[in-house]
Amino acid sequence: MRFDVLTLFPEIFASYLGQSLLRRAIDRGLVEVRLHDIRDWATNKHKKVDDRPFGGGPGMVLMAEPVVQCVEAVRSLGPEPGHLVMLTPQGQRLDQAAVERLAAERRILLLCGRYEGFDERIRLLLEPEEISIGDYVLNGGEVAAMVVIDAVIRLVPGVLGDEDSSAADSFSGERRLLEGPQYTRPRVFRGLEVPEVLLSGDHEAIARWRAEQAFLRTCQRRADLLAGRDEPREPRTEQKESRRTNQRGDKLGE
Ligand code: 6GU
């Protein structure tokens, strides 16, 4: 999987790219990330890549010329043009289904904006897929681009160790439920005990408990993920129960 990141601030990515999981994937040739500074394609002598919006208004707009030139040049560097993604709060919100779709690409170009936005002709000429990471405004697309890379590389075969499968992740697989609680040693911490079933050695009972907990946690925290599912196998009483609990699963005072 190859990523080309087009940004005005390539240095923002340095520490993320040195992070161990990604570093290992890069060293093993599973993932490649190339950074490109949009400013290198500025056509004026002041290396200016943004300008005031026609019609007036606050902020600056990224100019079409350096961005389009940069995308075209970067595309031509590779064996295939790649899938162009523009990071913008106006895009489709990223979810695991979109991550899975992106993970099927061999080359992805991530175009990061800054300032108030992109000259509209960038969209009209390049027809990128526009992605947002949520309903809030960031100062630029760089952090969002790292989110996309981080989520996608988990799905690249061989990137996670054998023991850390992405299949059990919240949102992954058919069920798209949140993961339930996990415990590790010690068995008792500050009086809080690990649920007995996890120590029982009964793999079927453990699997059943985990499935129940995942369902319960999803009801309690993200009932929206269950909407439209045809699988509400859980007894009604437990769903009612969940409405009287808060995010940590504690009982709320009545
Ligand atoms: Cl991709 N960019 C910016 N600037 N803000 C965002 C975003 C992206 N996603 C959510 N907010």
Average pLDDT for 234-242: 45
pLDDT beyond 60 at 188: yes
| Ligand 1 neighbour 134 (Cβ under 6 A) | yes
Given a contact cutoff of 8 angstroms between Cβ atoms, the answer to whether 6 and 39 are in contact is: no
231 is catalytic: no
Confidence of residue 231 (pLDDT cuts 50, 70, 90): low
| Ligand 1 neighbour 86 (Cβ under 6 A) | no
pLDDT beyond 60 at 191: yes
| Ligand 1 neighbour 88 (Cβ under 6 A) | yes
Min mean pLDDT across 150-154, 172-176, 184-188 is at 172-176
pTM of the model: 0.86
Average pLDDT for 53-69: 96
Give the model's pLDDT for residue 254.
34
138-150: b (≥16 Cβ within 10 Å) or e: bebbbebbbbbbe
For ligand 1, pick from 85, 132, 147 the residue to mutate: most ligand atoms within 8 Å of CB. 132
Give the model's pLDDT for residue 7.
98
Q: Which atom of ligand 1 is nearest to the CA of 134?
A: 10
Contacts 24+ apart (CB under 8 A), 32-36: 32/1, 32/2, 32/3, 33/2, 33/3, 33/4, 33/5, 33/149, 34/2, 34/3, 34/4, 34/5, 34/74, 34/77, 35/5, 35/7, 35/10, 36/4, 36/5, 36/6, 36/7, 36/10, 36/70, 36/74
Average pLDDT for 164-188: 82
Tokens of 172: 């992954």
Give the model's pLDDT for residue 242.
43
Confidence of residue 167 (pLDDT cuts 50, 70, 90): confident
Give the model's pLDDT for residue 201.
98
120 is catalytic: no
Confidence of residue 175 (pLDDT cuts 50, 70, 90): low
Identity at 14, one-letter amino acid code: A
pLDDT beyond 90 at 70: yes
Q: Which region holds residue 176: left if phi is over 0, alpha if psi is between -120 and 50, else beta?
A: left
For ligand 1, pick from 12, 118, 131, 133 the residue to mutate: most ligand atoms within 8 Å of CB. 133
| Ligand 1 neighbour 54 (Cβ under 6 A) | no
Give the model's pLDDT for residue 249.
44
154 is catalytic: yes
Which residue among 4, 10, 50, 89 is the active-site one? 89
pLDDT beyond 70 at 78: yes
Min mean pLDDT across 99-103, 230-234, 239-243 is at 239-243
| Ligand 1 neighbour 141 (Cβ under 6 A) | yes
Give the model's pLDDT for residue 52.
96
Spatial distance between the Cα atoms of 48 and 170, rounded to a whole number of angstroms: 43
